[in-house]
C-alpha cells in the first residue's frame, strides 16, 4: 500500500525528502504506513518564502483563471475518492464509508470557492460630498498559513486552502503528525491540476511548536488559520497578533448540547443523536457532547438510545459494515477512560458500554451514560470519544441554562415539533450553529464556526471567502 501514497513533503512545487523522518501509524492495527519528512523551522521558512514569491503571479490571475485550475483539482479528487478514502481510513481510523464521505465533503469546498471567488463583489457607497465617489474592492491578503487537526485529515485543509487559493492567496499547510498522508495526496492532485510552484506547500513535522512559531511570527505570513484545540489556538492566535497583527481564523473546540424536548419525535431524536454523537467515533468538534432530555420522556429515550448504540458495529474501518473505528491514539483512549471512570464514580450509570473494546488497544465500546450532572468532567470537557452522557431537565429555561453552561459555543442541536419553541430556543442558544431536528448539518454552503471560546471566523458559505480577502476602500476625489 505504501507505494500508493506520497511520503515526501511538498515545497515550492518540489517533493522534499530528507534523512529525518517520522512514522505514520494505522490506529486500528498499529502498523506503520510510511515515514514522512520531519521538517523544522528552516524548511518552513523556505515554504513561506516560496509562497511569498508565488503570490504576485497567482494573485494577478483572474478569479476565472484560478477557478479553472481549482475545478481541475476538484475533478481529480472526485475521480480518486476510493484511494483518498482508503488513505483517510488507514491513517485516521474512521470507517471507509465515512472516509469517502469526508473526501467528497472536502472536495466540495474547492468547487464551491472556485465558483464563489468569481462573485467577490465590492460596493459602491453613496457619497457624502458631491466632489467624491466611494467604492470598495476585495483583494487577496497574501501568504496564508494553516495548521489543521487529524479528525478530518482532508476537509480541514480544503476548507482553508479552497477559499485561500480561490481568492488569490498562496498557502503553507502544516498537517497533524498523525495524518500527513492525506495532505500529501491532496498536494499531489493539486500539482496535477496545475497549481503553480509555491502556491500550495505542505510541511510535515513532529516539531509543531517550532514550525508553528515560524507560521505565526513570520512577517511574510499575512493570514493564519487554525483548527484544533482551544488551548493551542489561543496561544497561536496571540502569537499572530503579537508579531505583525495577522488576520486570524480559529476553529476550536466544542461542547455541543443536543436537547430532546418532550414534544419531539423520539425515534427521530434517537437517530439524530446517534448520527451526531457517534460520527468518527465521537471525534468531531460538532459531535453532541451532552444529551439533554426532558423528564417526561427521559426513560424511554434512554432505553431506545442505549439499544441503538449497543447495536453499532465496532472494528477496523476497512471492514464492511463497521460504524465505529479506532480512536486516533492511546492518549485519546486514556482520556475517554478517565472521563467515563470519573462519571461512574460520581454516580452516573452505564446503560451500555463503559469499557474498552476487544477489537484492539485503540477501540472503545460505544457508551451511554445515564444520570450525568453539571459537576462531572464529562459535562464540562470535550469527550472526543464514543460516549453519550444523558442529563435530565425540565422546561425550556433549564434546557437553555444547561446548554449554555460552557465556555464553548460551536454546534448545538435540539429536537422539538413546536415551531414557536424552535424559534425561541434557537435564538437563546449561545452557539454559532443550531441544528433543529437534524443530527448532521455541515456542508460547503453554510458558515461553519463558533462563538465564545470555540473561535473566530467562519469556514464555508460566502462568509468563508471573506476570511481570505481584504476589503479596500477607495475614495475618488477632486470632481
DSSP alpha helices (H): ranges in 228-382? 230-244, 266-278, 298-310, 330-345, 377-380
Specify the residue for cell string 477632486: 478
Smallest gap from residue 287 Cβ to ligand NAP (A): 8
Which helix (H) or strand (E) covers residue 201, if one does? Answer: strand 200-202
Q: Given candidates 46, 108, 148, 280, which one binds ligand NAP under the rule CB under 6 A? A: 148
Q: Which is nearer to ligand NAP, 298 or 408 (CB)?
A: 408
**285 given a catalytic annotation:** yes
Confirm or reject binding of residue 212 to ligand NAP (CB under 6 A): yes
Q: Given candidates 29, 104, 139, 208, which one binds ligand NAP under the rule CB under 6 A? A: 208
Confirm or reject binding of residue 346 to ligand NAP (CB under 6 A): no
The grid coordinates listed for 27 are 490506529
Judged by CB under 6 A, the chain residues 414 through 453 that form the site for ligand NAP are: 450
Confirm or reject binding of residue 204 to ligand NAP (CB under 6 A): no
Judged by CB under 6 A, the chain residues 219 through 248 that form the site for ligand NAP are: 227-229, 232, 236
Smallest gap from residue 293 Cβ to ligand NAP (A): 23
Q: At what angle do helices 155-167 and 180-193 cross, to 10 degrees?
A: 30
Smallest gap from residue 294 Cβ to ligand NAP (A): 27
Judged by CB under 6 A, the chain residues 285 through 344 that form the site for ligand NAP are: 285
Confirm or reject binding of residue 253 to ligand NAP (CB under 6 A): yes
Length, in residues, of the chain: 479
Angle 468-207-8 from CA coordinates, rounded to 5°: 75
SS (H, E, C) 238-268: HHHHHHHCCEEEEECCCCEEEEECCCCCHHH
Q: Which of 43, 285, 294, 453 is catalytic?
A: 285
The grid coordinates listed for 51 are 509562497
- Mind giving me the DSSP string for 400-441? HHHHH-SS--SEEEEE-S-HHHHHHHHHH---SEEEES-S--
Confirm or reject binding of residue 170 to ligand NAP (CB under 6 A): no
Q: Given candidates 8, 251, 294, 453, which one binds ligand NAP under the rule CB under 6 A? A: 251
List, by residue number, the catalytic residues: 251, 285
Enumerate binding residues for ligand NAP (CB under 6 A): 147-152, 156, 174, 176-177, 208-209, 212, 227-229, 232, 236, 251-254, 285, 382, 410, 450, 455
Amino acid at each position: 500500500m505504501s507505494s500508493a501514497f506520497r511520503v515526501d513533503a511538498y515545497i515550492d512545487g518540489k517533493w522534499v525528502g530528507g534523512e529525518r523522518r517520522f512514522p505514520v501509524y494505522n490506529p486500528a492495527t498499529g502498523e506503520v504506513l510510511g515515514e514522512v519528512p520531519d521538517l523544522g523551522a528552516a524548511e518552513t521558512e523556505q515554504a513561506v518564502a516560496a509562497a511569498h514569491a508565488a503570490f504576485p503571479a497567482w494573485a494577478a490571475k483572474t478569479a476565472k483563471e484560478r477557478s479553472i485550475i481549482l475545478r481541475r483539482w476538484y475533478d481529480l479528487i472526485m475521480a480518486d475518492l476510493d484511494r483518498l478514502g482508503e488513505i483517510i481510513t488507514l491513517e485516521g481510523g474512521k470507517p471507509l464509508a465515512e472516509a469517502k464521505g469526508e473526501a467528497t465533503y472536502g472536495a466540495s469546498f474547492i468547487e464551491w470557492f472556485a465558483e464563489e471567488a468569481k462573485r467577490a463583489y465590492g460596493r459602491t457607497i453613496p457619497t457624502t460630498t458631491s466632489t467624491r465617489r466611494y467604492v470598495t474592492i476585495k483583494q487577496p491578503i497574501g501568504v496564508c498559513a494553516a495548521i489543521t487537526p487529524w479528525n478530518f485529515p482532508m476537509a480541514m485543509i480544503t476548507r482553508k486552502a479552497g477559499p485561500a487559493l480561490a481568492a488569490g492567496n498562496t498557502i503553507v499547510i502544516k498537517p497533524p503528525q498523525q495524518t500527513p498522508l492525506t495532505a500529501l495526496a491532496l498536494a499531489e492532485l493539486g500539482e496535477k491540476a496545475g497549481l503553480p510552484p509555491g502556491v500550495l506547500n505542505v510541511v510535515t513535522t513532529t516539531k509543531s511548536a517550532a514550525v508553528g512559531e515560524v507560521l505565526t511570527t513570520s512577517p511574510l505570513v499575512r493570514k493564519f488559520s487554525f483548527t484544533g484545540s482551544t488551548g493551542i489556538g489561543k496561544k497561536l492566535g496571540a502569537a499572530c497578533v503579537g508579531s505583525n497583527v495577522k488576520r486570524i481564523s480559529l476553529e476550536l473546540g466544542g461542547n455541543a448540547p443536543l436537547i430532546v424536548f418532550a414534544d419531539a419525535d423520539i425515534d427521530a431524536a434517537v437517530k439524530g443523536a446517534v448520527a451526531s454523537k457517534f460520527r468518527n467515533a465521537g471525534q468531531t468538534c460538532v459531535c453532541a457532547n451532552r444529551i439533554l432530555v426532558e423528564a417526561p420522556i427521559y426513560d424511554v429515550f434512554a432505553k431506545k438510545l442505549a439499544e441503538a448504540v449497543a447495536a453499532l458495529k465496532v472494528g477496523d474501518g476497512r471492514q464492511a459494515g463497521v460504524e465505529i473505528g479506532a480512536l486516533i491514539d492511546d492518549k485519546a483512549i486514556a482520556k475517554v477512560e478517565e472521563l467515563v471512570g470519573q462519571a461512574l464514580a460520581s454516580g452516573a450509570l452505564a446503560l451500555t458500554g463503559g469499557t474498552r473494546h476487544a477489537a484492539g488497544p485503540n477501540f472503545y465500546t460505544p457508551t451511554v451514560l445515564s444520570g450525568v450532572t453539571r459537576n462531572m468532567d464529562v459535562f464540562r470537557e470535550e469527550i472526543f470519544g464514543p460516549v453519550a452522557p444523558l442529563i435530565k431537565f425540565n422546561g425550556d429555561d433549564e434546557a437553555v441554562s444547561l446548554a449554555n453552561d460552557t465556555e464553548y459555543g460551536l454546534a448545538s442541536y435540539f429536537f422539538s415539533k413546536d415551531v414557536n419553541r424552535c424559534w425561541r430556543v434557537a435564538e437563546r442558544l449561545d452557539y454559532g450553529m443550531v441544528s433543529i431536528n437534524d443530527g448532521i448539518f455541515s456542508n460547503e454552503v453554510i458558515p461553519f464556526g463558533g462563538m465564545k471560546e470555540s473561535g473566530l471566523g467562519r469556514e464555508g458559505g460566502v462568509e468563508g471567502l471573506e476570511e481570505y480577502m481584504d476589503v479596500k476602500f477607495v475614495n475618488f476625489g477632486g470632481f
